Chains A and B, each alone.
Chain A
Amino acid sequence: EAGVAQSPRYKIIEKRQSVAFWCNPISGHATLYWYQQILGQGPKLLIQFQNNGVVDDSQLPKDRFSAERLKGVDSTLKIQPAKLEDSAVYLCASSLMTVEYNEQFFGPGTRLTVL
C-alpha cells in the first residue's frame, strides 16, 4: 500500500514570496490533515479536511495560509506572503475517517526555509 506522498521535499524562499505544498493521501482515506512542525516542537494541526470539506482550521493563520482539497483527494497548502517564522516542516497526514481513535498516517514532510 502506497503511503502519503508530499512534494516538494525541500523548499527555500525569500520572505514575502509565496510557496505551495502538495499532498496525496493514502487511497480511500477520507480525512486529510496539514501540520506545521517547528524545530524542537511537536506537530501542530493547521487544518483538517473530511473529504473536501473543512472540519477544523482554527489554528490556520488565514491572513497568509490557505488550503484546499477540491476533489476530496489531493490537497495543496499555500503560504502567501511567507514570513521568517514560517520556517518549519509541513506534514501531511491522512486517516480512514474522522474518528477520534483512528491513527493518522504521515507523509515525509516538506522542509521550508524562509530567508
Chain B
Amino acid sequence: AQSVAQPEDQVNVAEGNPLTVKCTYSVSGNPYLFWYVQYPNRGLQFLLKYITGDNLVKGSYGFEAEFNKSQTSFHLKKPSALVSDSALYFCAVRSDGAGSYQLTFGKGTKLSVIP
C-alpha cells in the first residue's frame, strides 16, 4: 500500500529565513508527487508537482521541491519565508499505474512563520 510520511507536525521559522517541510513516500512503481496548502476554513490549493524529469520542481508563491528517488523524499522548500506562508501543508503521492490510482495524503505539517 502506498503511504506518505510528514515527520514534523509543526515547523516554526522566522520571517526571511529559509524553510523546509519534509515528506517521504512509499509507492509501487514510479511516483507522482504533489504539495498542497490549506489555509483556515478553505480547501486545499495546489502548489506544485513532480511527474518526471528535473528533480527540482518550482511552483506557486516561490515554493520549490526536490525529488530524491534514493531517499524516497520530496521536501518542500522556500528561500525566504513570509508570514503569509503560515498554513497547513500536505504532501501527496500517486502511482504511475503499478499501484493504486488513489491520491494518498500525509497528515500535514503546520508551518508557522514568526514575524
Binding site for B on A (CB under 8 A): 4, 33, 40-45, 48, 55-56, 59, 91, 93, 98, 100-101, 103-109
In the complex, residue of chain A having the shortest beta-carbon distance to the beta carbon of B92: A42
Which of A42, A100, A105 touches B105 (beta carbons < 8 Å)?
A42
A104 to chain B, nearest CB (A): 7
Cross-chain contact A100 with B95 (CB below 8 angstroms): yes
The count of chain B contact residues (Cβ–Cβ below 8 Å) is 25
Which of B44, B94, B108 touches A100 (beta carbons < 8 Å)?
B94
In the docked arrangement, what's the CA distance between A43 and B97, Å? 21
Cross-chain contact B49 with A103 (CB below 8 angstroms): yes
Cross-chain contact A100 with B107 (CB below 8 angstroms): no
Cross-chain contact B102 with A101 (CB below 8 angstroms): no
Binding site for A on B (CB under 8 A): 4, 32, 34, 36, 41-46, 49, 51, 90, 92, 94-97, 101-103, 105-108
Which of A41, A93, A108 touches B107 (beta carbons < 8 Å)?
A41
Cross-chain contact B43 with A56 (CB below 8 angstroms): no
Cross-chain contact A108 with B101 (CB below 8 angstroms): no
In the docked arrangement, what's the CA distance between A65 and B94, Å? 25
Which of A43, A91, A100 touches B101 (beta carbons < 8 Å)?
A100
In the docked arrangement, what's the CA distance between A40 and B92, Å? 15
B33 to chain A, nearest CB (A): 10
Q: List 26 A-B contacts (CB under 8 A).
A: A33-B103, A40-B108, A41-B107, A41-B108, A42-B90, A42-B105, A42-B108, A43-B90, A43-B105, A45-B103, A48-B102, A56-B102, A59-B102, A93-B43, A93-B44, A100-B32, A100-B96, A100-B101, A101-B51, A101-B94, A103-B34, A103-B49, A105-B46, A106-B43, A108-B41, A109-B43
